[in-house]
């Protein structure tokens, strides 16, 4: 199975797009809703949480895992790949979503100035500026932490008036840094769920990059180039969902974000 791990519900936006392009594959998803948001935690804590989630998914049958969480990808992926997998799961793969997104930024920007809206931990890691400028050193990257957005999204408060005020503040601070920004990366998978609200608050010249379609396209291509992994994946169309919180709120939001009713099973991560 293909595994997807996120700090909460945002990764469902990525999973939905992957399923559209690869419907016959089996998928297993784990949201660490009990400990979301990850963005305000230390890098060491994020690594520990991510390690626990990855272990759980592998033990439940995942052959490869996508960290459908920018915070986990920026703070924990490298250590997962370099330290954890060789010792505990040497034949397994864990991929992040930052490099595919950075590649898309390079293709899209014309002015060579881009904006990143992300969690505090992702901003502090400088993962996006590092990856983008590694590919094209002429690009200038402007970052903005959207600290309050994930808790609001996880609470399902999409129609709360305060959300518009907070978005206006964050986007104003970001876009005031340069009038040449022509590409805005929603560098947290949760933000895809409020993409329409964000579009209303940015100039029409600014192209918004949301990660679901990008990750789906890149993952499909990755599997085409790695038949040894692709051939090992279950293709019976199973869908399994786990969460570290089993409240009625989380179950309802799973259904809402995934787009159809699902059975969510409670897990204890350690």
189: domain CATH number is: 3.40.50.1860
Query: The tokens of 201 are what?
Result: 């608050």
Q: Would you state the pLDDT for residue 250?
A: 86
Residue 107: other Cβ atoms inside 10 A: 8
**pLDDT of res. 230:** 92
Candidate list 28, 57, 188, 198, residue with the active-site label: 188
Please indicate whether residue 188 is annotated as part of the active site. Answer: yes
CA distance 30 to 268: 11
List of residues 6+ apart from 99 with CB closer than 8 A: 131
Number of domains in the chain: 2
pLDDT digits (tens, 9 = 90+) for 15-50: 999 999 999 999 999 999 999 888 778 889 999 999
From residue 156, how far is each of 52, 194, 196, 205, 249 by CA, in Å? 26, 11, 15, 29, 9
Query: If DSSP codes are grouped into helix, strand and coil, which group holds residue 157?
Result: coil
Of 9, 18, 62, 69, which is the active-site residue? 69
- Same domain? For 179 and 194 the reply is yes
Average pLDDT score over residue span 152-163:
86
Residue-number span of the structural domain to which 252 is assigned: 2-96+213-266
Domain co-membership, 187 together with 239: no
- Please tell me whether residues 90 and 113 are part of one structural domain: no
pLDDT above 80 (res 177) = yes
Say whether both 181 and 224 belong to one domain: no
CB 156 within 8 A of CB 255: no
> Both 199 and 123 in a single domain?
yes
> Which carries the bigger pLDDT value, residue 248 or residue 110?
110
Tell me, yes or no, whether 32 and 15 share the same domain: yes
- Whether residues 21 and 60 share a domain: the answer is yes
Mean pLDDT, rounded, for 52-72: 95
Domain ends where: 211, 238, 255?
Answer: 211
Shared domain check, 33 and 7: yes
What pTM does this model have? 0.87
Per-residue pLDDT for 13 more than 80?
yes
Same domain for 161 and 234: no
């Amino acid at each position: 199975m293909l595994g997807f791990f996120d700090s909460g519900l945002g990764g469902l936006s990525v999973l939905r797009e992957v399923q559209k392009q690869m419907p016959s594959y089996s998928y297993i998803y784990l949201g660490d809703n009990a400990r979301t948001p990850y963005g305000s935690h230390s890098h060491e804590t994020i690594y520990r949480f991510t390690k626990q989630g990855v272990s759980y998914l592998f033990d439940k049958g995942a052959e490869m895992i996508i960290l459908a969480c920018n915070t986990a990808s920026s703070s924990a992926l490298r250590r997962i790949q370099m330290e954890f997998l060789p010792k505990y799961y040497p034949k397994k793969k864990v991929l992040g979503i930052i490099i595919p997104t950075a590649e898309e930024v390079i293709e899209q920007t014309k002015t060579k100035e881009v904006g990143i809206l992300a969690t505090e931990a992702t901003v502090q890691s400088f993962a996006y500026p590092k990856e983008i400028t590694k590919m094209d050193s002429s690009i200038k990257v402007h970052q903005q932490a959207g600290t309050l957005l994930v808790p609001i999204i996880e609470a399902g408060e999409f129609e709360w008036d305060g959300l518009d005020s907070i978005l206006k503040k964050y986007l104003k601070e970001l876009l005031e840094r340069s009038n040449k920004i022509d590409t805005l990366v929603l560098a947290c998978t949760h933000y895809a769920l409020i993409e329409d609200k964000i579009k209303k608050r940015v100039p029409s010249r600014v192209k918004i990059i949301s990660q679901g379609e990008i990750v789906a396209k890149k993952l499909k291509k990755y599997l085409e180039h790695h038949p040894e992994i692709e051939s090992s994946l279950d293709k019976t169309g199973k869908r399994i969902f786990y969460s570290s919180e089993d409240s009625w709120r989380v179950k309802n939001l799973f259904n809402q974000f995934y787009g159809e009713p699902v059975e969510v099973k409670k897990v204890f991560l350690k």
